[in-house]
Amino acid sequence: MGTLGGARPARLLAWLRAHDPDLAATRRAGRTALVMPALFALCNQVIGSSQMATFAAFGTFSMLLLVDFSGPMVQRLRAHLGLAAAWAVLICLGTVVAGVTWLAVAVMVVIGFLILFSGVVSSVLAGATTALLLAFVLPVTSPAPLSQLPVRLAGAGLAALAALLAISLLWPRPVADPLSAPAARVCRAAAAQLRAHVARSAGVPDAPTKRHCDGLGAQTAAAAAELRSAFDATPYRPTGLSVGSRAVVRLVDELTWLTAIVGHSARPAADCRDCDAEAHAVLRAAATALDRAAALLSEPRAAPDSLPAAVTDLRRAVQGLELGATTRLPVHHPPGTESEVRAFLGTLDVSFRAQELGFATLQITGNVQVAAAADRRSWRERLLGREPWALTEPLAAARERAAAHLQRHSVWLHNSLRGALGLGIAVALADVTGVQRSFWVLLGTLSVLRSNALSTGQNAIRALAGTIAGSLVGTGLLQLIGHHGTALWLLLPLAVFVAGVAPAAISFTAGQAAFTVTLVVLFNIGRDPDWHIALLRTQDIGLGCAVSVLVGLFFWPRGAAAAVDRALATAYTDSARYLAAAVEYAVGRCGGPAVTADAPLEAGRRAAASARRLDDAFRSYLAERGPKHVPLADMTTLVTGIVGLRLAADAVLGLWRRAGAPPAEADRAAARPVLLRSADRVTGWYRELAACLCDGCPVPEPLPPSRGVAAGLVESVRRELLDEHGRASDTAVRIIWTADHLTAARRLQPGLAAAAKRYAD
C-alpha cells in the first residue's frame, strides 16, 4: 500500500511536468493557493471588512497568478513594486469615476487602450497587461463612496506585500532562461566537434579517430534536437518575451544553422585542400568563442570580458582567411568540362565553409552578448524596453517603438482598440442592465476577446461551457456542504490551485470552470449557501461574451491571421531587396565607379523593421486560441526562412565592406553580370513567394542549380581577376564566395516551397 500511495504523487508530478513545462503555472498556482485564502481570511474574519477582503483577494490573484516577471530577484521585486503602485493609482481613478456612467465608460476606453497598447514598449508592461486592467475594472464596476477608498487601498496594499514575500520565499522562479542551458550544450558540443576535426585534419599526434569524430557529430546533432524540443515545449507568453529571452530564442534558429554548417565543415579530410592553415585558425577561434558563449549562457551575470576577446580573435582569423584564400585558385590550369569547373570552384569549398561558420559564430556570440547585457539592465531600462547598447535614451526608445505601431496595419493597434472598445461597451451594458456583480461582465469580455471574430466566438462558447460546468459543480458542492462553513475554507485553496493550473495544463474551458467554482466558494464563505451566485455568474459571463463577439465582428474581424499574411509577404519582399542590394554593392566593388554602403544598409534596416512587424503579428497569431488554419511547423518554417535570407544578405554585405579597394587597372566586366543575373534569379523567386503568400497565386517551384553561373565565374576569374603577378586576387575569392552565399539562399527554397504550398491550401 505504501508503494502504491507513493506512486500516485509521482504520477501526478509526471503529468504536471508533461502538461506544464518547467512547472511555471503550478508554481504560480501554488503560491496563490497559499496566500489568497490567508489574506481573505485575515480581512474578512479578523478585520471584518468585506471591501478590504475583496480587493486583497483579487489583488493577490492578479499579482501572483496573472504576472510572472523574469530576471534576477531584485528586478522582479522592483517590477512588483511598480505593479503595486499602478494598482493604487488605478483603484483611485476607478473609484472616482465609477458613479457616473458616461465618465466611467470614457475613462475605461482610454485606460484600456493605454494599458493594452503599452505592451508594445516592453515585455514588463506586456506581461502585466491583464493584471493592470483588473486593477481598474474591479473598482469601476463596484461603485462605492470615496470614504471606502482607504479600505480598498489597504486591501490592495496587503496583497502587494504578500506577493513580494511570496515570490521571494515560496518556490522562487529560476533566474536562467529555460533555453539557456540546452543552447549552451549545443555550443559546447559544436566546439568539441570543431576541435576534433581540426586535430584530425592537421594530422597532429594522438588525433581523434574517425569514429570519435562521428560520435562528437552525433552529440552535436542530439544537443541541437534537445534545444529544439525545449523551445517547442517552453510556454512563452507571445506578448511577454523580454529582450534577453528574444535573443535566446533567436539562438534556436542560429544554432540549428550552425549545427548544419559544422556537420558540413567537419567532414573527414579528403585531400590536401583540407590542410588549410587559415581555415583551421578560424575553426579553432570559432570553437573558443562558442565555449566562451556557452559559459556566458550558463552564468549570464558573470563578467562577460572573455567573450569579446574571443570574438575579436575570431574576426581577426576570418580576415586572415579571406586574405589567404587568394592562393587557392588554380588560375593557370583553366577547366574545360563541367566536372572540371566544379573542381575548380571546389578549391575554395573548405575556406568558404570556414568563412560561413565564422560568420554564423559571430552572429551567435552577438546574440549571447545581447542576452547577457539585457540581464544587467536597470529596472527603468527594462520597464521602458531599452535594448542593450542602444544609442537612444530609454524614453526616446519607448516613444520610437510605440510610434512604429501607430499605423493602420498594426495588429497591436487593432487589438488595443478592439479591447478598449469592448471593455467600454461592457461597462455601459453592465450599468444599463443593472446586473449584479457587473465586474464579471467585464471579466468575461476581457477573458474571451481575441483578435478575430471566429476565435472570439470559439472562446465565447468555451467560456460559457466552462462557466456552466463550474456552476453545476459549485452548486453541487454547496448542496453537499450545506451550512458547514469550515468545509468551504478548506476547499478554497484547492479551488484556487486548480483554477491556476487548469488553463495551462488542461484547457481554457477547464480554467473557466475551475475559476467559477473558486468564485462560488469565495462568495459563500461566511454566508448561507446561495447557489444563485452560480447562475448570476453564468448570466454575467454570457453578457461579456456577447460584447466580445459583437466587437470582434465589427472591428478587424480577420484578426492576426490576415496580418501575418501581409507581414510575411512584406518581410520576404524587403529581405529579397536587401540581398539584391548587398549583391549590387558587391558588384560595385568589383571595379567601376565608387559606391557606398548606404543603399544596402538602408535596405537592411527596412528588412529588419519588416521582420519585427512580422514577429509582432506572428506572436499575436500564436496568442489566438482555437485551431490554426496552418500547421505551426509550416508557419514557423516560413517565418524563420526570412532569418536565413537576411543572414545571407548580412554575410555578403559584411564580406565586401571588409574588402580593400580593388586595383584600378583590373577589369571585372565579366564577373559583374554573372553575379547580378544570379542575384536577380534567386531574389526573384523570393518575390514570387511573397506574392503567393499575399495574393494566393501558385507557389513557385524551387530553382535548380545554374550551370551557367559556375562557368561564368570560372571564366571571369581565369581571364580578368588576376593581379600583376598572375595570381588570383582577393576580389576573385569574394566574388566566388558571394555566389556561394546566393547558392545558400537558393538551397532554402525547397523547404519554403513545401511549407508555402500547405500554407496556401
Collapsed DSSP state (helix, strand, coil) of residue 722: strand
Please tell me the predicted confidence (pLDDT) of residue 88: 94
Please tell me the predicted confidence (pLDDT) of residue 287: 92
pLDDT tens track for 344-355 = 666 667 777 888
Please tell me the predicted confidence (pLDDT) of residue 754: 86
Q: Write the burial class of residue 596 (CB in 10 Å: 0-12 exposed, 13-18 middle, 19+ buried).
A: exposed
Residue 187 has pLDDT above 50, yes or no: yes
Note whether 180 and 298 are within 8 A (CB): yes
Radius of gyration over every alpha carbon of the chain, rounded to an integer in angstroms: 30
Question: Mean pLDDT over residues 299-327, rounded?
Answer: 79
Measure CA 386 to chain center: 17
Say yes or no: do domains 180-328+355-375 and 559-760 share a fold.
Answer: yes
> Rounded to whole angstroms, how far apart are CA atoms 153 and 758?
54
Question: Mean pLDDT over residues 404-412, rounded?
Answer: 69
pLDDT > 90: what percent of the chain? 11
Q: Write the burial class of residue 88 (CB in 10 Å: 0-12 exposed, 13-18 middle, 19+ buried).
A: middle
CB atoms within 10 A of CB 408: 7
Residue 225 has pLDDT above 90, yes or no: no
Residue 662 has pLDDT above 70, yes or no: no
Residue closest to 517 by CA, chosen among 496, 541, 545, 503: 496
Residue 191 has pLDDT above 80, yes or no: yes
Q: Label residue 274 by pLDDT band (50, 70, 90).
A: very low
Note whether 421 and 445 are within 8 A (CB): no
Domain residue ranges in the chain: 24-174, 180-328+355-375, 378-406, 439-557, 559-760
Where is mean pLDDT largest: 151-160, 198-207, 585-594, 670-679? Answer: 151-160
C-alpha cell at 324: 589567404
Backbone angles phi, psi at 451, to 5 degrees: -95, 10
Question: Mean pLDDT over residues 520-546, rounded?
Answer: 64
Amino acid at 423: L
> Rounded to whole angstroms, how far apart are CA atoms 523 and 529?
9
Backbone angles phi, psi at 438, to 5 degrees: -60, -15
Please tell me the predicted confidence (pLDDT) of residue 77: 84
Q: How confident is the prediction for the chain on average, in pLDDT?
A: 75
Residue closest to 142 by CA, chosen among 98, 89, 92, 87: 98
Backbone angles phi, psi at 724, to 5 degrees: -65, -15
Buried b (16+ CB within 10 A) or exposed e, 6-24: eeeeeeeeeebeeebbebb
Note whether 598 and 569 are within 8 A (CB): no
Please tell me the predicted confidence (pLDDT) of residue 683: 92
Q: What is 180-328+355-375's CATH number? A: 1.20.58
Residue 741 has pLDDT above 50, yes or no: yes
- C-alpha distances in angstroms, 135 versus 67, 206, 254, 255, 488? 13, 68, 41, 42, 26
- Cα Dmax for the chain: 102
**Which pTM was predicted?**
0.67
Buried b (16+ CB within 10 A) or exposed e, 323-339: ebbbebbebeeebeeee
Amino acid at 53: A
Q: Label residue 320 by pLDDT band (50, 70, 90).
A: confident
Residue 742 has pLDDT above 70, yes or no: yes
pLDDT tens track for 226-253 = 887 776 655 444 344 455 566 666 777 7
Q: What is 559-760's CATH number? A: 1.20.58
Question: Could you tell me which residue, 239 or 590, shows the higher pLDDT?
Answer: 590
DSSP state of 728: B
> Rounded to whole angstroms, how far apart are CA atoms 344 and 287?
29
Question: Mean pLDDT over residues 36-55, rounded?
Answer: 89
Question: Could you tell me which residue, 445 or 104, shows the higher pLDDT?
Answer: 104
Please tell me the predicted confidence (pLDDT) of residue 559: 56
Please tell me the predicted confidence (pLDDT) of residue 386: 58
Per the document, the length of the chain is: 761
Residue 152 has pLDDT above 70, yes or no: yes
Question: Could you tell me which residue, 204 or 549, shows the higher pLDDT?
Answer: 204
Question: Mean pLDDT over residues 456-472, rounded?
Answer: 66
